[in-house]
């Protein structure tokens, strides 16, 4: 597209990347920026990475829509009402939300905000945090639910929103409506238009950028399209908002029905692109609102667009085909296009100046000269400022300087510079020329302001101008202009020596620092120090010799400066600077500044100096701590530590951490030997380093120094953390020695480390006045017997009582046992027991007493425990044994006591009294059932056992006593004794236990047990006596249930009688059991449901109906008696019953009967199955009433669809048309296709007409032979496939005029031309075919295929028109195809013409040489000189000699400069002598080249003709020939 102001290209094709055509459309494919394209397919989401060579990633995600953020890799997915966000980089889910209403449109308005549009509202949802979508505003009435949303924009300040959509208009048009919403004012303004966008633009004459809304307007009653540019959101205090008058958009006439689909802003160039549905693109200049260009880039609709911020270009994707188009501004062509095509000089100047584009230089010059000539200085300055660099030259400055100033007005040159400063930055020359007068006027503050605002271009010359006035400002200029020597000079003048080296290093500038440093050392020592610091700290290493510089400072007696310099120089602490580090410390220690040396050593920045030497110097200076730090020899250390009393104790403690183990122990011994004054610090050292030095060694140090107190304090600090048994023992020992019994007791009580045997032995031998440490040791390590013996023998009986009461009451049994063994007083033992009370463990105490035959001695203690409320089983077990042995009312005890253990006292009683054992076992409440059964069988306690079993209600226990045992292996019969015991027990239960019971649960459990034991006869007899013969349990529901169930299982002949006689049983449950597969008592189940459906048994109406439904369920589901079921349904006439009957009839394929039942039930729930069965049975008349009934309560697609189909099948087209034109939710397209496939074209026609499916409507008209109506429908469909089908149908019906109308529409598409030709040709309508293509020549968008095919048809059917057609329409022909057609038709002249016109001279010559009818001498001569194959020229020579010898001379005149004349002569010789004669004229013409072959041939001809005169001239003039051969002739 050379010469036009846009560049256009197809950069990608989504179909070629494997994205299906069905996914490339609005809503499924999105492109929010030039980074990603996202497309949703049925089973996956495809991501195209445009930043990575269009790499395709497919993720197995099912979603309705997907959209990627413009700047990050955050993907939003939508499925139904669920929306989610995922971070693809971290592969994590960010957030999700369930929306209340379906999303109809969404778009990222920024990198973090997703806009969601529903049918009623607009929401914003941030990808940051966990917040839910926030409602922004309601949709305006003009952009309601019937509007398809296609665009949403948010202004840069986030305060304005623009929502846009389209809707169907009158006459098939498309209306556009937009809603402009102000977030601050909460108000909306409706706009009539299709597309708009926000942008930020810098307008001339304004400091603040303008936030503009650019939008398209198209009112319904106005055919014109307009562009509006208006500012929104400007602060009124800053002035009125910018607004341009609306400008007309030049829509071409052929696009009258076209409408915009998107507007994209090129923010880089302040240009707006408007794309339309028909593929037109319009380019607007935003500041002026003018249209700069219009073109059509595609025949397809671009459905999604976005801008490329880096280049200003825009991207768009075409629907279905998936072409990714790129449209951008063609800068070099824009201004020339505006000048030459638009002829808008003003716009060209403004655009060129704003964008810095070429093409307007001459315009600027002309305008500048005009303005200067007319005295418009200000306007001329503004022109220069807006011209880019075109007029910013020294000549322009000179022109303004030459203009004389007007009275009362500033100098023109100042006006010029002022204008330039307002619009941008001055160049170097302008800056210098402005600085000269400003500095002369003494106004350097202006220069400073301009420099601060970056309005001046800095240079060395500008700095030189400023230097005499302001050094700081000059320095700033030199720094910006990289004038290094001048900058350093400024640093020196300003005394900023510390900045010289960093600056020089940063810019890579080198200079002689040594001489500068030497000069400063005497004149400015501080400056010299600053410079030296900078030089020694320079990047890349010191720039001076450190030692020499230090000596230079010292030679001037500058100790302080020397110190400061060396500190800076040696800060890296390098080993090679060891001497200098030593020197630095030495000059301060010797020079009277030890505090400086101390500070340096304190900081630790120097580590490589001579430590021994410095240590001695520190010792001389009385710096004992520093001296100690520098010594490593233990003797030196001991010497210094003689002054440890002058050292900081913390230092001393810390210092020991630097010594090894042997040195530390030696130093500690030395310090301890100097008396108790060092004991405290030694204790602190021992505390801190006991792990490194060893507790054993430290204990020895203290013990050798006889420092028991020090040892106590040392061990006291570590004993709580130490795991050394020696430490704990020594601490206990030292505590006892110092009388610290409390501390000794604490360690003995709490420590787990000491050796218990060792400590026990020490404490026993020490015979302490307070034995509590020993008590704790013995108690913890189970030396109770030894402790008891020690205390008893040492008359410490009070401590025995203290031990068992205060220390360890649980050890009381052991103590009492030992006292028993020692023969202690029994009263003392009882007193101890009573003192301990309940704290003493009963079991152990009882066991010890029993083993020593002292149990009865415990009776008072046990009774006392019981009196205190003790519930311990052991206490009550022991007391029970005592009472049983004493025969002290044992039965009452066993019956009433709740706390003894039956398993303990039961066996104890068995040998004494079995009845007492039964009582004890019965008290076990199930725990001793086995023992109870055993003792009952053993001692014949059957009646007691029977009563117990009935009361227990334990089916498992019943099973044990009632179940027959299988005979042992080898025995035929079971054990007779056991069987007799079982029979006696059953008799007792039936005769006494159960009749005596007044509990229904006991009776019920007993019955279940009998059932489980397979005793149905006895059970039925018993239940009949209880229920049917009158008792308290006659109306018991459980018993009635059990009686019926027993009969069902044992004797089902009694079931019907029981159902009639009994009224209080679980009807539903019993009925279910009756109809189960295991019993199949269907009549009994049916009888139960019918009986309990009566009002006297079931009061609630709903429950009655439920019973009726269950009853009919038995008839239809189990008995399969549908006739009886139908009679029952008629009898009860309840809707649920009819519904149940209908379902069963439907399953039995009784569709008509089922439909009647569902209508009676008014139940449409099974409409899907009903429709399917009715269709299968083809009972559409019966189906229609059901569908009408169903539509009263349901609004389902299937119902309406099937109703339409039923109307069509029975031919009721009147009701069909009324229904289709009324409100419905039918899938009309689907049913229409179905009717069409079944040849019900009249019905299908009504359906397709209602949904404007003109393509299918046209086909219906064809099948109905309504050809004129078919053409009308095809016109409305405007689809090539439809046109083609209608065309062929009309042609078959010999409706040639209608066929031609359709055919003209078909041949507009090149791909379908062959089909038209083939069809016409197969039917033999060649004249009509030629006429059709002749009409096609007049089509507005006639393509090359029409012209080509007409040419081919002419060759077949109208050959006389071929030549004329080729000449008139050559430029529109596919030459190769027409040529082949001409050759097949043997039309050689047109073939030659086409070859020549197509510059195929070789082929043209070939045709003329092979076919005489095609030969034309002039045409041949014109062609022969253009051939590419030189051999053809020589074939032409032979052709002319053979066919046209009289024209040979003319041929050679044309070929004279192109052929090899020697070869031509050889051809003439081979042809014959006559050929040489014919070629004589040619040979004479080329003899000037003096070729031997030519000379010899001519000479031979002269000899034959005896033309000696000519021969003589030839020989004299041209001597290149074989003279001997000529002489011989």
Can you tell me the distance from the alpha carbon of 418 to that of 400, in angstroms, rounded to the nearest whole number? 12
- In DSSP terms, which residues pair with 283 in a beta bridge? 273, 293
Structure token digits, residue 323: 């072409």
Read off the pTM: 0.41
Q: Of 110, 133, 137, whose CA–CA distance to 122 is shortest?
A: 137
Burial of 789 (0-12, 13-18, 19+ CB in 10 A): middle
Can you tell me the distance from the alpha carbon of 877 to that of 547, in angstroms, rounded to the nearest whole number? 101
In order of 1076, 1084, 1155, the CA distances from 1114 in angstroms are: 11, 10, 21
Query: What sections of 1028-1081 are H helices per DSSP?
Result: 1037-1050, 1055-1061, 1067-1074
- The pLDDT score that the predictor gives to residue 226 is 94
- In DSSP terms, which residues pair with 79 in a beta bridge? 82
Structure token digits, residue 1477: 């004669």
Residue 896 reports pLDDT greater than 90 = no
Can you tell me the distance from the alpha carbon of 1372 to that of 1290, in angstroms, rounded to the nearest whole number? 30
Can you tell me the distance from the alpha carbon of 1064 to that of 1000, in angstroms, rounded to the nearest whole number? 15
Count of C-beta atoms within a 10 Å radius of residue 370? 13
Confidence of residue 782 (pLDDT cuts 50, 70, 90): confident
Instruction: Report yes or no: 46 and 60 within 8 Å, Cβ to Cβ.
Output: no
63 CB-near residues (< 8 Å, 6+ apart): 40, 45, 77, 78, 79
Residue 586 reports pLDDT greater than 80 = no
| Strand-strand pairing, 55-59 and 65-68 | unpaired
How is residue 299 annotated by DSSP?
Answer: S
Q: What are the tens digits of pLDDT across the range 1477-1524?
A: 888 888 888 888 888 888 888 888 888 888 888 888 888 888 887 777
Residue 1309 reports pLDDT greater than 70 = yes
- The pLDDT score that the predictor gives to residue 536 is 64
Measured in residues, the chain has a length of 1529
- The pLDDT score that the predictor gives to residue 308 is 92
Can you tell me the distance from the alpha carbon of 562 to that of 569, in angstroms, rounded to the nearest whole number? 10
What 3-state class would DSSP assign to 204? coil
Can you tell me the distance from the alpha carbon of 109 to that of 116, in angstroms, rounded to the nearest whole number? 10
Report the greatest alpha carbon distance in the chain.
186
Q: Tokens 């009580």 map to which residue?
A: 749
Can you tell me the distance from the alpha carbon of 431 to that of 450, in angstroms, rounded to the nearest whole number? 10
- The pLDDT score that the predictor gives to residue 2 is 42
Average pLDDT over residues 907-927: 78
Q: What are the tens digits of pLDDT across the range 1141-1177?
A: 888 888 888 888 888 888 888 888 888 888 888 888 8
Instruction: Report yes or no: 1493 and 1465 within 8 Å, Cβ to Cβ.
Output: yes
Instruction: Report yes or no: 672 and 707 within 8 Å, Cβ to Cβ.
Output: yes
Q: What CA dihedral angle connects 1037, 1039, 1044 and 1046, to 10 degrees?
A: 150
| Strand-strand pairing, 247-248 and 260-266 | unpaired
What 3-state class would DSSP assign to 356? coil
Instruction: Report yes or no: 1307 and 1281 within 8 Å, Cβ to Cβ.
Output: no
Residue 707 reports pLDDT greater than 60 = yes
Confidence of residue 227 (pLDDT cuts 50, 70, 90): very high
Average pLDDT over residues 1182-1195: 85
% the chain with pLDDT above 90? 18
Listing DSSP states for 1155-1212 in one string gives HHHHHHHT--TTHHHHHHHHHHHT-HHHHHHHHHHHHHH---HHHHHHHHHHHHHHT-
Instruction: Report yes or no: 246 and 228 within 8 Å, Cβ to Cβ.
Output: yes
Instruction: Report yes or no: 734 and 715 within 8 Å, Cβ to Cβ.
Output: yes
Residue 484 reports pLDDT greater than 80 = no
- The pLDDT score that the predictor gives to residue 965 is 67
Q: What are the tens digits of pLDDT across the range 43-75?
A: 999 999 999 989 999 999 989 999 999 989 999
Q: Tokens 């050679």 map to which residue?
A: 1452
HEC-encoded secondary structure of 536-569? HCCCCCCCCCHHHHHHHHHHCCCHHHHHHHHHHH
Can you tell me the distance from the alpha carbon of 786 to that of 763, in angstroms, rounded to the nearest whole number? 13
Residue 1 reports pLDDT greater than 50 = no
Give 1289 or 703, the one with higher predicted confidence: 1289
Average pLDDT over residues 1026-1036: 68
On average, the pLDDT of the chain sits at 82
Count of C-beta atoms within a 10 Å radius of residue 632? 13
- The pLDDT score that the predictor gives to residue 148 is 93
CA R_g for the chain? 60
In order of 528, 817, 865, 1269, the CA distances from 838 in angstroms are: 95, 18, 6, 113
222 CB-near residues (< 8 Å, 6+ apart): none
Mean pLDDT check: name the lowest of 207-211, 731-735, 1230-1234, 1280-1284: 731-735
Structure token digits, residue 777: 């040791």
Backbone angles phi, psi at 7, to 5 degrees: -115, 135
- The pLDDT score that the predictor gives to residue 150 is 93
Listing DSSP states for 1157-1173 in one string gives HHHHHT--TTHHHHHHH
Backbone angles phi, psi at 217, to 5 degrees: -125, 135
Q: What are the tens digits of pLDDT across the range 106-155?
A: 999 999 999 999 999 999 999 999 899 999 999 999 998 889 999 999 99
How is residue 237 annotated by DSSP?
Answer: G
Instruction: Report yes or no: 258 and 218 within 8 Å, Cβ to Cβ.
Output: no
Contacts by 1104-1112, CB closer than 8 A, 24 or more apart: 1105/1134, 1105/1136, 1105/1137, 1106/1136, 1107/1067, 1108/1132, 1108/1134, 1108/1136, 1108/1137, 1109/1134, 1109/1136, 1109/1137, 1109/1140, 1110/1068, 1110/1071, 1111/1086, 1112/1137, 1112/1140, 1112/1141
Q: Is the dihedral of CA 252, 255, 256, 259 positive or negative?
A: negative
DSSP H/E element including 895? helix 890-896
Q: Of 103, 101, 98, whose CA–CA distance to 66 is shortest?
A: 103
- The pLDDT score that the predictor gives to residue 946 is 73
Confidence of residue 1323 (pLDDT cuts 50, 70, 90): confident
Structure token digits, residue 1381: 């057609």
Instruction: Report yes or no: 1092 and 1062 within 8 Å, Cβ to Cβ.
Output: no
Q: Of 307, 263, 78, whose CA–CA distance to 162 is shortest?
A: 263
The alpha carbon of 7 is separated from its chain's Cα centroid by a whole number of angstroms, namely 35
Backbone angles phi, psi at 322, to 5 degrees: 75, 25
Structure token digits, residue 1068: 């539903």
146-155, 455-464, 592-601: range with highest mean pLDDT:
146-155
Mean pLDDT check: name the lowest of 116-130, 365-379, 1466-1480: 365-379
Can you tell me the distance from the alpha carbon of 1322 to that of 1307, in angstroms, rounded to the nearest whole number? 17
């Amino acid at each position: 597209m050379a010469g036009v102001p846009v560049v256009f290209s197809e950069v990608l094709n989504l179909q070629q990347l494997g994205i299906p055509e069905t996914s490339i459309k609005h809503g499924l494919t999105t492109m929010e920026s030039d980074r990603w394209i996202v497309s949703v397919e049925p089973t996956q989401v495809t991501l195209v990475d445009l930043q990575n060579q269009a790499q395709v990633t497919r993720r197995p995600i099912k979603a309705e829509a997907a959209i990627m953020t413009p700047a990050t890799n955050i993907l939003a997915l939508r499925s139904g009402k669920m929306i989610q966000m995922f971070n693809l980089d971290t592969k994590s889910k960010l957030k999700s939300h369930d929306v209340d209403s379906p999303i109809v449109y969404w778009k990222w308005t920024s990198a973090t905000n997703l806009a969601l549009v529903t049918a009623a509202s607009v929401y914003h949802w941030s990808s940051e945090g966990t917040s839910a979508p926030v409602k922004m505003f309601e949709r305006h009435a003009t952009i309601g639910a019937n509007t398809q949303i296609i665009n949403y924009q948010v202004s840069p300040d986030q305060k304005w929103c623009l929502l846009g959509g389209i809707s169907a208009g009158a006459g098939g048009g498309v209306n556009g409506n937009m809603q402009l919403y102000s977030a601050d004012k909460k108000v909306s303004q409706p706009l009539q238009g299709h597309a708009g966008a926000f942008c930020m633009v810098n307008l001339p004459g304004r400091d603040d950028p303008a936030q503009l809304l650019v939008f398209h307007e198209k009112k319904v009653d106005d055919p014109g399209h307009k562009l509006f540019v208006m500012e929104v959101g400007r602060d009124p205090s800053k002035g009125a908002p910018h607004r341009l008058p609306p400008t007309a958009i030049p829509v071409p006439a052929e696009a009258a029905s076209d409408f915009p689909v998107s507007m994209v802003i090129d923010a880089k160039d302040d240009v707006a692109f408007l794309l339309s549905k028909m593929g037109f693109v319009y380019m607007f200049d935003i500041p002026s609102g003018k249209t700069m260009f219009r073109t059509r880039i595609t025949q397809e609709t671009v459905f999604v667009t976005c801008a490329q911020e880096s280049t200003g270009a825009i991207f768009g994707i075409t629907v279905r085909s998936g072409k990714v188009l790129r449209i951008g501004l063609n800068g070099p062509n824009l201004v020339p296009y505006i000048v030459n095509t638009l002829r808008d000089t003003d716009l060209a100047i403004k655009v060129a100046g704003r964008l810095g584009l070429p093409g307007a230089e001459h315009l600027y010059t002309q305008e500048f000269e005009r303005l200067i000539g007319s005295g418009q200085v200000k306007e001329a300055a503004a022109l220069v400022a807006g011209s880019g660099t075109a007029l910013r030259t020294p000549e322009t400055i000179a022109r303004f300087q030459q203009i004389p100033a007007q009275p009362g007005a500033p100098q023109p040159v100042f006006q010029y510079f002022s204008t330039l400063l307002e619009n941008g930055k001055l160049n170097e020359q302008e800056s210098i020329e402005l600085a000269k007068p400003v500095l002369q006027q003494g106004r350097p503050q202006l220069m400073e302001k301009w420099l601060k605002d970056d309005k001046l271009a800095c240079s060395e010359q500008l700095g030189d101008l400023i230097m005499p006035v302001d050094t700081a400002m000059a320095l700033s200029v030199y720094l910006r202009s990289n004038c290094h020597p001048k900058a350093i000079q400024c640093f020196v003048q300003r005394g900023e020596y510390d900045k010289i080296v960093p600056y020089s290093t940063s810019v890579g500038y080198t200079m002689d620092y040594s001489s500068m440093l030497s000069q400063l050392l005497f004149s400015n020592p501080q400056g010299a120090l600053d410079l030296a610091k900078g030089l020694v700290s320079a990047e890349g290493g010191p720039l001076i010799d450190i030692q020499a510089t230090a000596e230079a400072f010292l030679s001037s007696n500058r100790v302080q400066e020397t110190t400061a310099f060396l500190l800076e120089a040696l800060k890296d602490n390098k080993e090679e600077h060891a001497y200098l580090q030593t020197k630095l410390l030495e000059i301060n220690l010797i020079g009277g500044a030890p505090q400086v040396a101390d500070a340096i050593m304190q900081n630790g920045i120097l580590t490589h100096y001579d430590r021994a030497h410095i240590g001695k110097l520190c010792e001389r200076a009385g710096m004992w701590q520093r001296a100690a730090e520098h010594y490593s020899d233990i003797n030196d250390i001991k010497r210094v530590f003689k002054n440890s009393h002058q050292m900081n104790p913390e230092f001393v403690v810390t210092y020991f951490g630097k010594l090894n183990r042997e040195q530390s122990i030696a130093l500690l011994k030395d310090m301890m030997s100097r008396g108790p004054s060092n004991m405290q610090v030694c204790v602190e050292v021992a505390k801190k380093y006991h792990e490194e030095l060893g507790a054993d060694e430290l204990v020895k140090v203290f013990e050798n120094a006889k420092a028991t107190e020090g040892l106590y304090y040392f061990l006291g600090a570590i004993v709580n953390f130490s795991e050394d048994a020696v430490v704990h023992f020594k601490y206990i020992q030292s505590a006892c020695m110092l009388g610290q019994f409390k501390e000794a007791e604490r360690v003995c009580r709490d420590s787990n480390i000491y050796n218990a045997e060792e400590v026990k032995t020490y404490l026993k031998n020490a015979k302490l006045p307070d034995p509590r440490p020993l008590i704790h040791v013995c108690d913890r390590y189970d030396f109770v017997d030894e402790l008891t013996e020690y205390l008893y023998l040492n008359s410490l009986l009070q401590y025995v009582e203290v031990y068992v009461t205060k220390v360890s009451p649980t050890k009381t049994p052991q103590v009492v046992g030992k006292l028993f063994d020692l023969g202690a007083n029994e009263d003392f033992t009882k007193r101890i027991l009573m003192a301990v009370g309940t704290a003493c463990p009963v079991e152990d105490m009882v066991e010890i007493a029993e083993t020593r035959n002292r149990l009865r001695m415990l009776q008072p203690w046990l009774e006392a425990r019981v009196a205190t409320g003790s519930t311990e089983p052991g206490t009550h077990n022991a007391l029970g044994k005592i009472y049983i042995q004493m025969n002290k009312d044992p039965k009452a005890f066993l019956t009433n006591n709740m706390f003894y253990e039956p398993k303990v006292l039961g066996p104890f009683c068995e040998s004494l009294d079995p009845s007492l054992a039964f009582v004890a076992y019965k008290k076990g409440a199930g725990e001793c059932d086995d023992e109870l059964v055993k003792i009952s069988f053993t001692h014949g306690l059957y009646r007691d056992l029977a009563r117990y079993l009935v009361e227990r209600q334990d089916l498992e226990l019943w099973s044990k006593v009632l179940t027959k045992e299988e005979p042992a292996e080898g025995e035929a019969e079971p054990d007779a004794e056991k069987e007799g015991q079982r029979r006696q027990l059953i008799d007792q239960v039936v005769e006494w236990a159960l009749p005596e019971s007044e509990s229904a649960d006991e009776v019920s459990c007993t019955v279940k047990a009998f059932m489980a034991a397979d005793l149905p006869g006895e059970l039925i007899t018993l239940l009949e006596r209880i229920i049917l013969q009158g008792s308290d349990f006659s109306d018991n529901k459980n018993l009635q249930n059990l009686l019926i169930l027993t009969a069902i299982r044992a004797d089902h002949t009694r079931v019907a009688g029981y159902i009639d006689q009994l009224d209080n049983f679980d009807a539903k449950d019993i009925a279910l059991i009756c109809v189960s597969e295991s019993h199949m008592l269907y009549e009994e189940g049916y009888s139960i449901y019918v009986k309990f459906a009566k009002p006297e048994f079931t009061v609630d109406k709903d429950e009655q109906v439920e019973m009726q439904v269950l009853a009919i369920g038995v008839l239809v589901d189990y008995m399969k008696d549908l006739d009886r079921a139908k009679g029952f349904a008629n009898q009860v006439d309840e809707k649920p019953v009819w519904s149940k009957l209908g379902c069963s009839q439907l399953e039995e394929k009784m569709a008509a009967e089922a439909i009647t039942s569902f209508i009676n039930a008014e139940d449409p729930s099974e409409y899907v199955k009903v429709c399917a069965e009715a269709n299968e049975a083809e009972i559409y008349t019966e189906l229609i009433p059901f569908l009408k009934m169903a539509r009263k309560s349901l609004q389902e697609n299937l119902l309406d669809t099937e109703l339409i189909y039923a109307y069509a099948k029975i031919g009721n087209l009147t009701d069909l048309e009324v229904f289709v034109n009324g409100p419905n939710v039918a899938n009309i397209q689907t049913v229409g296709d179905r009717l069409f496939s079944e040849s019900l074209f009249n019905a299908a026609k009504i359906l397709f007409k209602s949904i404007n499916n003109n393509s299918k409507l046209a086909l219906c008209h064809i099948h109905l032979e309504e050809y004129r109506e078919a053409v009308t429908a095809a016109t409305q469909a405007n689809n090539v496939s439809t046109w083609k089908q209608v065309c062929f149908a009309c042609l078959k019906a010999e409706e040639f005029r209608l066929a031609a109308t359709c055919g003209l529409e078909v041949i507009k598409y090149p791909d379908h031309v062959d089909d038209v030709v083939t069809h016409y040709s197969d039917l033999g309508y060649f004249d009509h075919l030629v006429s059709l293509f002749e009409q096609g020549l007049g089509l507005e968008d006639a393509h090359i295929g029409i012209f080509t095919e007409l040419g081919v048809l002419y060759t077949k059917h109208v050959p006389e028109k071929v030549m004329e057609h080729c000449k008139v329409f050559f430029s529109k022909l596919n030459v190769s195809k027409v040529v082949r057609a001409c050759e097949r038709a043997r039309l050689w002249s047109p073939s030659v013409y086409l070859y020549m016109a197509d510059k195929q001279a070789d082929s043209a010559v070939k045709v003329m040489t092979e076919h005489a009818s095609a030969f034309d001498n002039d045409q041949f001569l014109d062609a022969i000189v253009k051939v590419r194959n030189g051999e053809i020229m020589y074939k032409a020579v032979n052709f002319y000699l053979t066919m046209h010898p009289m024209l040979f001379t003319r041929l050679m005149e044309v070929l004279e400069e192109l052929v090899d004349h020697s070869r031509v002569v050889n051809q003439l010789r081979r042809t014959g002598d006559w050929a040489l004669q014919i070629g004589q004229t040619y040979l004479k013409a080329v003899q000037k080249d003096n070729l031997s072959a030519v000379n010899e041939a001519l000479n031979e001809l002269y000899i034959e003709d005896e033309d000696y005169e000519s021969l003589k001239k030839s020989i004299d003039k041209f001597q290149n020939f074989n003279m001997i051969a000529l002489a011989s002739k």
